[in-house]
Amino acid sequence: MKNLPFLLLSITLGCFAQQKTTGNLVALDDAFYDYVDKDAQIEVLAEEFIWSEGPVWVKEGGFLLFSDAPQNTIFKWQEGKGITAFLKPSGYTGVLPYGREPGSNGLIINNDDELVACEHGDRRISRMPLSNGGKVTVADTWQGKRFNSPNDIVQASNGTYYFTDPPYGLPEQQNSASREIDAFGVFKIAPNGNVDMVISNLTRPNGIALSPDETILYVNQSDSNTPYIMAYNILQEGSLDEGRIFFDATSLIESGFVGSLDGLKVAQDGTIFSTGPSGILIITPKGKLLGRIETGQRTANCTWGDDGSVLYMTAHNYLMRIQTKTTGAGF
């Protein structure tokens, strides 16, 4: 976008100002403080983005990458160095404008230490070596039909990818004439490259994560009418059972909290850290809400960083973090 250099300048300068904090911690159960100290602060690391998303920590180098889909850019944040543009374009390589969110969304580092991106505009999953660049398409079609706009992704230890494909990145979203797949599905990419739709009955699948033992796949539904975290048992060959409602956020929405279920990550003991109404929800493996990390913003996603105990959060115009008392699964 034409205003990127000016926006980036203001972001970078802001990173070297005195660190500011925001938000609140709300405990609904004393066990909440097993995961976040009572005096923990939500730090604002950078701001003035359009819609920050999809953060991932890069262990080799010790820095964070995250998407700003409207700017078609992946940004890099590093302690003491602030924000720089890491990759642009990040998700759309066309010559004409493409909707409101053309860029990348969810990011992960795969088992081969490559950057894997869910690309809205190019409607694909890509991978790219961090050392020397050069994107490779992992998948862009199912049964010969182009994906809608891949949103979030996770990879199992055996190499299998699971990703969500809602309409949010399409120019007219669900009404786009360019839609080729009727369902907003969840897809599996096998290590041999075969693509299967493993969930077809969700209206707005969004964030996705695996349990620490990789026996359960969690999928967030960002639909205010059915705001559920779904849990699916992973069967042989990576297929899924019919699933169950793991957590229902309806009461939070009805209470007036702003935001929806979006991205989520899992701690080493199986506890869920999910974005949702008010910020980050901390939920036990049995589905009990322990409390909320209230960011004061619509919060898109989160990830574990540093030594695995720091939770980084992308929240609307902001990049934030909070020190926890746990460690991310597989970190």
Q: Which helix (H) or strand (E) covers residue 14, if one does?
A: helix 4-15
Q: What is the pLDDT of residues 100-115, one digit of tens each?
A: 999 999 999 999 999 9
Q: What is the pLDDT of residues 276-285, one digit of tens each?
A: 999 999 999 9
250 domain-assigned: yes
Torsional class of 294: left (φ above 0), alpha (ψ -120 to 50), beta (otherwise): beta
pLDDT at 1 over 80: no
8 domain-assigned: no
Mean pLDDT over 68-73 rounds to 97
Q: What is the pLDDT of residues 71-85, one digit of tens each?
A: 999 999 999 999 999
260 domain-assigned: yes
CA 124 – CA 107 distance, rounded (Å): 12
pLDDT at 2 over 80: no
CA 75 – CA 229 distance, rounded (Å): 28
> What is the domain-level CATH number for residue 75?
2.120.10.30
159 domain-assigned: yes
7 domain-assigned: no
Query: Residue 66's domain spans which residues?
Result: 50-273
303 domain-assigned: no
Give the count of domains, the chain. 1
98 domain-assigned: yes
Q: What is the pLDDT of residues 8-35, one digit of tens each?
A: 434 443 444 457 999 999 999 999 999 9
Q: What is the pTM assigned to this prediction? A: 0.93
11 domain-assigned: no
